[in-house]
Amino acid sequence: MEITVAEALIRCLEQENVELVFGYPGGAILPVYDALNKTTIKHILVRHEQGAAHAADGYARVTGKVGVCLATSGPGATNLITGIANAYMDSVPMVVITGQVSTGMVGTDAFQEVDITGITIPITKHNFLVKDPNQLPVIVKKAFHLASTGRPGPVLIDLPKDVAMEKIKFKYPKTVVLPGYKPTFKGHPSMVQQAGRIIMESERPVIYAGGGIRIANASPELLQLAEKINAPVTHTLMGLGCFPGDHPLFLGMLGLHGTKYANQAVTECDCLIAVGARFDDRVVSKISGFAPTAKIIHIDIDPAEIGKNVRIQLPIVGDVKNVLGALLPQLEKKENAPWLARIRQLKEEFPLHYDRNGCLKPQFVVEKLNEYKDDRAIVVTDVGQHQMWAAQYMRFKEPRCFLSSGGLGAMGFCLPAAVGAKLGAPDRTVITVIGDGGIQMTMQELGTAAEQKLPLKIFVLNNQRLGMVRQLQDFYCQKRHVAVDFQFNLDFAELGRLYGMEGYTVETAQQLEKLLPEVLASPKPVLVNCMVDPEENVLPMVLDGANINEAVD
Amino acid sequence: MRHTLAVLVENNPGVLARVAGLFSRRGFNIDSLAVGRTDNPAVSAMTIVVEGDDRYLEQVNKQLHKLVDVIRISDITRDAYVDRELVLIKVSADSNKRAEIMQLVDIFRARIVDVGPKSLTIEVTGNDGKISAFEESLRPFGIKELVRTGKIAMLRGFKASSKNNVHKEEDES
C-alpha cells in the first residue's frame, strides 16, 4: 500500500521509537502535521520554535535518546537556529525536521522560503534536503544514525511540501550505508597500553572529565579509574554529575570560574587524563600555562578534538566507555599519598567562599537548593552568573542531573530545556535556576509548561540586571556600566501566577529557608522570585591572559 | 609548506559548499580546488592545494573527515605524484609579435586554440613550475586574460590515491 511521504516520515519516527516531538506548525509543514493525526507519537506545541529546539535538546540530555523537533519553512526554520547551534556545541543528539516550499519554488525567494540546509551546514553534524520521495526512509534512518552515534549532534531534514505529499511504498531500511562516516569505537590497543604506562609512572595524576562521559554512559568506568589510581577528578561544565560530587576525589569544575584547588591541581599535576573533554578556551585560558608539567593523555571519540587547542602527548581516539574499559586492566592500584595530601591541603587553603552578610546572596540560594533537593532531581540552568554559582555550589551524584548550555552559552535555554527535561523524566523533580535576564528571553514557554501541566520548580535569581555582563564591565571596562540594568522590572511571582503556578518572592535567607522544603515537596508548579544581592561577583575568576592558577578570588 | 590533498567525496548536492564553507569558517586558506566526477558517477574527486605547517594540515584533514560526504583524504604531498593544471591565456599579438609567441608556444608544448586579429588564445597544461615559467615569458607581450583550472593530481605507479569502489547501493532490506 502506498502512503504519503509525510505519513512515511511519521512511520519512520515510530520505527525509531520516538515518543514525543516538539514543534510549531505552519504552511509548508502542513502535510507532516496532518500525518500526526494517525500516530501515538505525542506532539508538544511550544510557543516559539527556539523553544522546540531547546526542549528537544533538554529531552535528549535527560533521556539519552534522540530529541526531535519540527518547524515550518522560512521563519519557523530560522527560529530553530539558536537551538540547533546549542545542540551542536554540546554534542546533543537531535533530529530537526523543517518544512520547505515546494520543489518548483525552491530558489525563487518564495513566501517563507529560506535555504535552511545552506544556513545550517556549520551548525549541524549533517543535513539533508529531500528531493526524491523514495529516499525519505533512507534519509531518516541516516539522520537518526548520524545524530546518535560517534560524537552525537543535530541533523536536519528539510522536506519540501510537494515531496511530503507524494505517495511512496514504505519500507524502513535496517541498515545505513555511509561510506564517509565510520566513527572509531575501540581505542588503539598500543595507545591504551602506553596510557597505562604513563599513568602508572605518574605521581600526581589528575582526571579531567567532560561531557563525553555522560554521552558514553561511562560514569562507572570513570569512578573505577579514579579510585584505582587515586586520581582527583575535575570537571568541565558539561562533565558535572559524571562523578559523584560527594566523593573525596571530587575537585569540582576547573577553568575560568573553576575552584582554585582544581586549577592548582591541574597546574601541578604530572599526568592529566582528559576524558571526553575538548580543552575549551573557558577551561584552558592561557595555553602555555595549562598543565605545564603534565603528560597529557586525551581520550575522545572525535579525532578532530585531539591536538586542536593544546599539544598532547598521547591521543586515544575511541568511545570513552570502551577505552576506559580497556585501560582499567592495564592499571594497578596506586596510592599517591603525598599527592592526595597536597590536594587536601589545597582544598582547605582555597575553598569556595562568599560573604554571607547582608541581603540574600545568590550563592546561598543555590547552596540551599542543593541541600533541599533530592539526589535524583534535575537542575537546569540558563547562562550567566547563576549558572556558574550552580556549577560551583551544587553537587550531583549521577550524570544527566545538571543541564546547561555550555559551548554556545545561549541565554534562553533554561525554560524550554526544563520543559523537555520534565517530559523526558516525568517522575523526577525538575528545578530551574535562571536569571531575570534569561527568563525574559524565552518565558513564553511557561505557556507550554502550563499546557502540559508540568510542575516545574523555577527559581529566579533576580538581581534586576545582567549580572555577568556587569561583572565583565567591572573587570574589563573600569566599572563603566552600559546596558546592564533593567529599568523596568516585572513581578516574576505574579508572572508565574498568571501561568497557573504558585508564585513567591523572597528577600531574606530566612524566608527562603522556610519556603524551600515546602515548595520542593509540593506537586504544583512553583516560581520563586529570589531578590538577590546585585553586587555579587562570580569568583574565582581567571582574567584574560592569565594562567588558570592565577585566578582572582 | 604547500600540501596537495586528494579527496574523494560523495557526489551529493551541496558537497562543494560543505567543503568550501569548512575552509572559510575554520580560517583555512585554499590555494586551489579542482573538482569533478570520477569513473563512478556517485563519487567526485577533489584536488585541494593548501598551505600550512603539519599541525595546521592535521586540523584541515580531521575537520574534512568530519564531513559525512567526505569518503577519503590522502595527503599525497610527500609521495611521488603527477599533477597537472590547464591554463587558458589570451595574449596581445600584433602581426609582428606572432612568430615570437608561436615559438614560445612550441617550446612549452602549448597549443594555440583561438586566433584573433590582435590576440592569440593559448592552452597550456603542466605543473606549477612550467605554468609560471610560461606565464612569465608571455607577460612582456601583454596578457589580456588568464584562467586556470586549479591543480589535479594522482599518485604515480599502481597505487591509487582514490579508490572508487567505495560506494554501494543503499541496503533496502
CATH of the domain at B122: 3.30.70.1150
- Please list every residue in chain B whose beta carbon sits closer than 8 Å to the beta carbon of residue A173: 170-173
Q: A126-141: b or e for each residue (b if 16 or more CB lie within 10 Å)?
A: bbbbbeebebbbbbbb
Mean confidence (pLDDT) of chain B: 89
Q: pLDDT of A136-145, one tens digit each?
A: 999 999 999 9
Query: How would residue A407 be classed by pLDDT, with cut points 50, 70 and 90?
Result: very high
Residue B162 in any domain: the answer is no
Bridge partners of B16, per DSSP, are none
Query: How would residue B13 be classed by pLDDT, with cut points 50, 70 and 90?
Result: confident
For chain B, the residues whose C-beta falls within 8 A of a C-beta of chain A are 9-10, 13-14, 17-18, 21, 25, 55, 58-59, 62-63, 65-72, 166-173
- Do residue B72 and residue B6 come from a single domain? yes
A362-531 is classed CATH 3.10.50.40: no
The answer to whether the CB atoms of A179 and B14 lie below 8 A apart is no
Residue B172 in any domain: the answer is no
- Please list every residue in chain B whose beta carbon sits closer than 8 Å to the beta carbon of residue A120: none
Q: Which of A406, A479, A467 is nearest to A437 (CA)?
A: A467
Q: pLDDT of A253-285, one tens digit each?
A: 999 999 999 999 999 999 999 999 999 999 999
Q: Strand A126-129 and strand B81-92: pairing?
A: unpaired
Q: B16 lies in which domain range?
A: 2-78
- Angle subtended by helix axes A49-63 and A414-424, to nearest 10: 50
- Do residue B97 and residue B56 come from a single domain? no
- Do residue B86 and residue B146 come from a single domain? yes
Three-state SS string over B52-117 comes to CCHHHHHHHHHHHHHCCCEEEEEECCCCCEEEEEEEEEEEECCCCCHHHHHHHHHHCCCEEEEECC
Q: pLDDT of A466-499, one tens digit each?
A: 999 999 999 999 999 999 999 998 999 999 999 9
- Do residue B118 and residue B134 come from a single domain? yes
- Whole-number Cα distances in Å, B86 to B37, B123, B130, B131, B142: 17, 7, 11, 9, 20
Among chain A residues, the shortest Cα distance to B170 is held by A177
Give the start-to-end residue ranges of the domains of chain A: 2-169, 189-349, 362-531
Comparing CB atoms, the residue among B58, B68, B169 nearest residue A181 is B68
Residue B158 in any domain: the answer is no
φ, ψ of residue A529 to 5 degrees: the values are -90, 105
Mean pLDDT of A304-322: 95
Residues A469/A484, Cβ–Cβ less than 8 Å:
yes
Q: pLDDT of A178-188, one tens digit each?
A: 999 999 999 99
- Do residue B95 and residue B146 come from a single domain? yes
Residue B99 in any domain: the answer is yes
Q: Which of A132, A160, A144 is nearest to A30 (CA)?
A: A160
Query: How would residue B162 be classed by pLDDT, with cut points 50, 70 and 90?
Result: low
Q: How many domains does chain B have?
A: 2
pLDDT value at B161 more than 90: no
The answer to whether the CB atoms of B63 and A304 lie below 8 A apart is yes
Task: Answer whether A118 touches B (CB < 8 Å).
Answer: yes
φ, ψ of residue A538 to 5 degrees: the values are -80, 115
Residue B173 in any domain: the answer is no
**CATH number of domain containing B15:** 3.30.70.260
Among the listed residues A125, A141, A142, A161, the single catalytic one is A161
Cell of A186: 575501540
Residue type, A3: I
Half-sphere exposure (Cβ direction) of A319: Cα atoms closer than 13 Å: 19
Q: Give the percent of chain A with pLDDT over 70.
A: 100
Q: pLDDT of A496-548, one tens digit each?
A: 999 999 999 999 999 999 999 999 999 999 999 999 999 999 999 999 999 99
- Do residue B7 and residue B71 come from a single domain? yes
Residue B106 in any domain: the answer is yes
* CATH node for A189-349: 3.40.50.1220
Comparing CB atoms, the residue among A131, A173, A179 nearest residue B171 is A173
Residue B159 in any domain: the answer is no
The pLDDT, as a whole number, for residue B158 is 83
A2-169 is classed CATH 3.40.50.300: no
Domain closes at, from B78, B100, B123:
B78
Comparing CB atoms, the residue among A118, A175, A178 nearest residue B68 is A178
- Whole-number Cα distances in Å, A189 to A49, A186, A272, A334: 45, 8, 20, 22
Mean pLDDT of A2-19: 98
- Do residue B67 and residue B89 come from a single domain? no
The answer to whether the CB atoms of B14 and A118 lie below 8 A apart is yes
- Higher-confidence residue of A134 and B53: namely A134
Please give the Cα distance from A224 to B171 (Å, whole number): 41
Q: Does A189-349 match A2-169 at the fold level?
A: yes
Q: pLDDT of A30-56, one tens digit each?
A: 999 999 999 999 999 999 999 999 999
- Do residue B65 and residue B105 come from a single domain? no
Residues B5/B78, Cβ–Cβ less than 8 Å:
no
Q: pLDDT of B67-87, one tens digit each?
A: 999 999 999 999 999 999 999
Mean confidence (pLDDT) of chain A: 97
pLDDT value at B170 more than 50: no
